[in-house]
Structure 1
């Protein structure tokens, strides 16, 4: 039995579950997955008993309970300092934390307009005007990081920032968001990443009746 449990929701729809799961994989943590449907009253009540908010992902490890994605990232970085969740250089670490925090607390319009749905594929999709600045800002972040650190991931090697922005890659693919070649190459890197392929394969196997949700903003 693994020493940790990660409570998650739908692999097709829950972007925050994906972020937490990727972070645990990157840290090399041996963990069991516990899938929960928060629309089920009994499961929702169970999750409320575990934490003061109905939020996933939720990590239980060696008596520590963490239910905020960025807090999970920082906890794993402290617990597994050799995993490379943050870059080694101080300036790059600060940059990585800044853009991870920006994703954590921002981009509400993008999440509302382009909800994660790995199974779906649109040939064209009109993005409403309120979400366009979010799309442009993400493009700016990616362009800056890739130019500064040389790719193929945002800080060269995979870091917590890639876990935070991986769901955006799926959104851009689902809703046919046009990307410059260097940004498309970054998304392709994410899609080819072994843990991302594992998650995607499981998402595609989920029953279609899973209710779409986005539980953390």
Structure 2
């Protein structure tokens, strides 16, 4: 059985991607959660993952790091990770790669913090561009391939890559347009997403760097998390 090493469910958008994919597709794995330490996390994760970051997938004596590499490794061994149709698969891979490499302003301003609801102090033009581009991708995928997921009827890796955006939309009150917002709501309603969310709310530990990022960008209107 695989082992998937992840960090705090409340914060770790990168960990969510392979976790929700494997859970939704029914790929068995054992979860190892190692909370973010205060300060530099490299020393904590380096013994577990070659690049000193999470997620990391362990398959016997092999370690696969980086969420995109993990997805491709799984795709070589399990059906359904990417769409079967070549056109849908090309779109899905392109959209997932764009999520992996882009949207830096969204990541910086709207850090993932599942348990909070935050009213942003401001929405700079660069953030609006990121939101508009994600809306464009979501709307195109739903229209071209018929939904309810981005590349067709089935949940695939491209949906897993955008799953953290659904949590960000919930936390920061972001809107991507009616069809795209309905898609985000479908992601949040998935059993695996609900499982992740409930576990995130129950986590008792906090990492001050992530907390400070959330305090800096806006007013906390609700905190649904268990007490630290």
Would you say how many aligned residue pairs link Structure 1 and Structure 2? Answer: 210
Give secondary structure in 2 for the equivalent of 1:49. coil
TM-score under structure 1 length normalisation: 0.89
User: Which residue of structure 2 aligns with residue 135 of structure 1?
Assistant: 131
CA contact (8 A) 2:131 2:176 kept: no
Q: Does 1:185 align with 2:182?
A: yes
Q: Which runs of 4+ in 1 moved over 6 A?
A: none
SS in structure 2 of the partner of residue 79 of structure 1: coil
Report 1:102-181 matches (<5 A).
102-122=98-118, 126-156=122-152, 157-181=154-178
* 1:143–1:43 Cα change, 3 Å: closer
* CA gap 1:135/1:44 in 2 versus in 1, 3 angstroms: same
The answer to whether the aligner puts 1:67 opposite 2:65 as a matched pair is yes
Structure 2 gaps of 5+ residues are 211-228
Note the alpha carbon deviations across 1:99-118, whole angstroms, 9 max, x for none: 00001111111100110111
Query: 27-36 or 45-54: which moved more?
Result: 45-54
Contact persistence 2:36–2:207 (CA under 8 A): no
Cα RMSD (Å): 2.1
Residue 150 of structure 1 deviates from its aligned partner by 1.1
TM-score (norm 2): 0.85
State the match for 2:216 in structure 1: none
Q: Could you tell me which runs of 5 or more consecutive residues in structure 1 were left unpaired when the two chains were aligned.
A: none
Q: Distance in 2 between matches of 1:108 and 1:193?
A: 26
Q: Deviations over 1:105-162 (max 9, x none)?
A: 1111110011011111135653222222111100000000010111111112101000
Cα distance in 1 for partners of 2:49, 2:18 equals 16
The one of 63, 75, 78 equivalent to 1:77 is 75
